[in-house]
């Protein structure tokens, strides 16, 4: 039962929470946004540090495919607020957008801060109020009606009553920016079905030799292709990877992180194949490796015939036996499909995003918890994942809007029934 002047508490001031606040505030509902950090949108600003990639311009069917196993659950959300709608929304805030060479969409100027400032200004104009340094610590049923939220603040514990609640608490990565996953235990204790949080868009461990680790950690391996044959079929990505002290990371790795992580969970490892010369056919590479090298070293031969040098040659020495290096056919095969055994994903707090979270089966189409009427969930705390490239932010914004609109409708119905 909602009051005549309903109040909504939004817990989490990231993109999903702010979009829910926008939908509710536009409907004239009293909205309070609570965030544990000193200001809202901290991770949003971090995402835009190198240029805010907010969505993607690729064909819509391909765009939806980026959500993998959760495509069917994310599609209805994006159907009401997809890539083009996001660009129009930014324009309404006075921020133009442009499409980069890779198809990624950025705000003019690339920066997140101007967009966030304009967004907060518009939210305040609709009456949205912000409460920072408020860490959510519990949810109770208030006497006689609405929910009562418990927050830990610098001034002690405080309780807030609300007719409806939107949780937008983020995932489990980037704890220093507010997404620490602590909410998992609290919601699980309330009976909410939650899938374990796991790293997504992450690097992976490889058992490098001490020499290779010390000599090449931090170096990029440019213009390569990665191939992985998983249970859902073969996947192929071109791009760049970074050698780390523990293994590998980088955009091409992140794009394959879900099937790689799943394979490691299932089999204890994942076999990834690295093509060091994706623009060359195996036949051409074999022709060059079989060319007599005379008195030249193998490294000099590979550089002169194929342009291979530095970390790429070091990778060949790291992963191939001496016998294979001296066999021109096996060397060519190694150049085109160098096996890398990945033994573990990097820890959750190092990941760009997380998989797992509140099960969609516990939610209705408006993202309301079926067992807790008036309580909605949105953003990365839901059980989905996507690669970088604007897909993460797009679904967070779309889910926030869906939750905000659904909460508005639910409150109106509850008010009429009362």
**What is the 8-class DSSP label of residue 191?**
T
Tokens of 333: 């095969």
203-216 CB burial, b ≥16 within 10 A, e <16: bbbbebeeebbeeb
Quick one: which of 325, 334, 215 has its CA closest to 285?
A: 334
Pairwise CA distance, residues 227 & 278, whole Å? 11
Q: What is the pLDDT of residue 177?
A: 74
Q: What is the pLDDT of residue 1?
A: 53
**Integer angstrom CA distances of residue 396 from 31, 78, 305, 310:** 19, 10, 48, 41
Q: What is the pLDDT of residue 175?
A: 77
pLDDT by residue, tens only, the chain of 418 residues: 556 678 999 999 999 999 999 999 999 999 999 999 999 998 888 876 778 999 999 999 999 999 998 999 999 999 999 999 999 999 999 999 999 988 999 999 888 999 999 999 999 999 999 999 999 999 988 776 789 999 999 999 999 999 999 999 999 887 777 778 899 999 999 999 999 999 999 999 999 999 999 999 999 999 999 999 876 678 889 999 999 999 999 989 999 999 999 999 999 999 999 999 999 999 999 999 998 888 888 899 999 999 999 999 999 999 999 999 999 999 999 999 999 999 999 999 899 999 999 999 999 999 999 999 999 999 999 999 999 999 999 999 999 999 999 999 999 998 877 6
Scan for tokens 């950025």, then name that residue.
Answer: 106
Locate the domains of the chain by residue range.
7-199+352-417, 204-345
Beta strand segments in 35-128, E:
55-56, 97-99, 104-107
Q: Which fold has domain 7-199+352-417?
A: FAD/NAD(P)-binding domain (3.50.50)
Q: What is the pLDDT of residue 398?
A: 98
Pairwise CA distance, residues 103 & 393, whole Å? 15
Output the CA torsion sign for 314, 315, 319, 321. negative
């Amino acid at each position: 039962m909602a009051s005549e002047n309903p109040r909504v508490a939004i817990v989490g001031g990231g993109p999903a929470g702010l979009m829910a606040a926008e939908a509710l505030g536009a409907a004239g509902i009293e909205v309070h946004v609570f965030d544990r950090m000193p200001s809202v949108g901290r991770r949003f600003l971090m995402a835009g540090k190198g240029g805010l990639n907010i969505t993607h311009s690729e064909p819509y069917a391909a765009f939806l495919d980026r959500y993998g196993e959760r495509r069917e659950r994310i599609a209805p959300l994006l159907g009401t607020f997809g890539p083009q709608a996001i660009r129009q929304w930014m324009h309404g805030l006075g921020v133009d957008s442009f499409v980069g060479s890779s198809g990624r969409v950025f705000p003019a100027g690339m920066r997140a801060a101007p967009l966030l400032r304009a967004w907060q200004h518009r939210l305040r104009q609709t009456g949205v109020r912000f409460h920072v340094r408020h860490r959510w610590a519990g949810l109770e049923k208030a006497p006689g009606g609405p929910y009562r939220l418990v927050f830990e603040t610098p001034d002690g514990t405080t309780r807030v009553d609300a007719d409806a609640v939107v949780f937008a608490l983020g995932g489990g990565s980037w704890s220093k920016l507010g997404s620490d996953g602590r909410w998992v235990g609290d919601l699980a204790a309330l009976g909410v079905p939650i899938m374990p949080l796991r790293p997504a868009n992450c690097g992976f461990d490889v058992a490098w030799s001490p020499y290779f680790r010390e000599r090449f950690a931090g170096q990029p391996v440019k213009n390569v292709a990665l191939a992985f044959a998983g249970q859902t079929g073969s996947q192929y990505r071109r791009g760049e990877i970074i050698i780390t002290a523990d293994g590998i990371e980088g955009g091409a790795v992140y794009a394959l992180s879900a099937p790689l992580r799943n394979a490691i969970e299932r089999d204890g490892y994942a076999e990834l194949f690295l093509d060091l010369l994706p623009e060359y056919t195996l036949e051409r590479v074999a022709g060059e490796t079989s060319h007599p090298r005379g008195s030249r070293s193998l490294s000099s031969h590979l550089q002169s015939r194929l342009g291979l040098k530095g970390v790429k040659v070091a990778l060949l020495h790291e992963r191939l036996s001496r016998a294979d290096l001296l066999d021109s056919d096996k060397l060519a095969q190694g150049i085109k499909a160098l096996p890398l055994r990945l033994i573990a994903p990097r820890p959750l707090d190092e990941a760009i995003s997380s998989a797992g979270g509140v099960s969609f089966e516990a939610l209705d189409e408006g993202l309301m918890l079926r067992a807790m009427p008036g309580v909605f969930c949105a953003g990365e705390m839901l059980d989905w994942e996507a690669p970088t490239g604007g897909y993460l932010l797009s679904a967070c914004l779309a889910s926030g809007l869906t939750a905000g609109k659904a909460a508005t409708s639910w409150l109106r119905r509850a008010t009429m029934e009362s």
